[in-house]
Amino acid sequence: MAEPLGNNSYLVDTALYRPGHAACYLVEDGGELAIIDTGTPHSLPQILDAISAMGATPAQVRYVIPTHVHLDHAGGAGQLMQACPQATLIVHPRGQPHMVDPSKLQAGATAVYGEQAFRRDFGELRAIPEQRTLAAADLQNFALGGRTLQFLHTPGHANHHGCVFDQHSGYLYTGDTFGLGYREFRHERGPLLVATTTPVAFDPDAWFDSLDHMMALKPEACCLTHFGKIDRPERQVGMLRDSIQAHVEIALAEERQSPEGREARLRAAVDELLVSTGCAHGGLAAERVRQIFESDIELNAQGLHVWLTRRAKKRD
Ligand SMILES: [Zn+2]
């Protein structure tokens, strides 16, 4: 089902792992649709249902815009482009080659998730004909009906990450650059935001800069893939900066130790950080917090490990 967010903008749960884990967004203007993030190949029925619930058809989709090519955001792009015959895929220039030929992406993701989990959760990645893709420059504008969508390069979580700013609504579609803000943690004192440091290109300095650029747009709201719309993002961004910095400190403390046993120590430290942050935010018991962050603890620890390896190589 499509959840209305106002301004002809809708959230669709892409049904990865559990309800409330991953979303994509539909924006409609003047009979044209943009889909921001695509979920996985398994998300296609949910997205098509949402389009028809809006009284529209897939032929009205003008743009499909994955914020980056990680599979919870772009895994279903090939299938979605087949279902939407008029659509152009808009993507960061560094992500575009992987949408045209997803074989490296598939190999990389299989290394991160394991063969069995990859097949179960992501199925099969489908190539997109190059002539249907457009590599978007930083700050490039796209007309959708009467409104303008702007693509903003936002490296940090990934070097090929982009966000989409809807100049009409003021909503900024942030993929993973505004962190994780699961709804289970929303309460009267506000949301909880934590960093996601997924392999293979975590870059904290670039991320802090991207957050500056995003906040300079003065967005009305940020729409997170994980998960949902967060109002008054300027009040929340400090919490995300702290979480990025806390992940950096875990990695730097680890850098001073011998690499033996590093993976397990990183995992334990990230587990401790996310569970204690979740508990301190209030409302949920540690076991529930750990359950919600289960896949993120694993990915964040792996991403910090890859970051440390990259730093070591640079020094050699
Ligand atoms: Zn993600």
Distance 197 CA to ligand 1 centre (A): 10
Burial string for 177-186 (b: 16+ CB within 10 Å, else e) reads bbbbbbebbb
Q: Where are the beta strands (DSSP E) in 154-232?
A: 162-166, 171-175, 221-224, 228-231
Whether the CA torsion 150, 155, 156, 159 is positive or negative: it is: positive
Distance 177 CA to ligand 1 centre (A): 9
pLDDT value, residue 156: 97
Distance 73 CA to ligand 1 centre (A): 6
Output the CA torsion 84→151→240→251 (10° steps): 90
Distance 39 CA to ligand 1 centre (A): 9
Report how far Cα 86 is from the mean position of its chain's Cα atoms.
Answer: 25
Per-residue pLDDT, averaged over 156-177, amounts to 97
> 24 pairs with which residues across the strands?
12
- Paired tokens of 126: 């489908």
Q: How is 240-296 classified by DSSP, letter by letter?
A: HHHHHHHHHHHHHHHHTS-STTHHHHHHHHHHHHHHHHHHHHSSS-HHHHHHHTHHH
Q: Does pTM surpass 0.75?
A: yes
Residue 113 binned pLDDT confidence (cut-offs 50, 70, 90): confident
pLDDT value, residue 223: 98
Distance 176 CA to ligand 1 centre (A): 5
- Paired tokens of 133: 């893709």
Q: Give pLDDT tens digits for 4-61.
A: 999 999 999 999 999 999 999 999 999 999 999 999 999 999 999 999 999 999 999 9
Place of tokens 């440091």: 197
What is d(CA 54, CA 72) in angstroms, rounded to the nearest whole number?
A: 24
At a CB cut-off of 8 Å and minimum separation 6, what does 98 contact?
69, 104, 105
Distance 23 CA to ligand 1 centre (A): 9
Distance 122 CA to ligand 1 centre (A): 13
Distance 245 CA to ligand 1 centre (A): 19
pLDDT higher than threshold 90 for residue 283:
no
pLDDT higher than threshold 90 for residue 82:
yes
Distance 157 CA to ligand 1 centre (A): 9
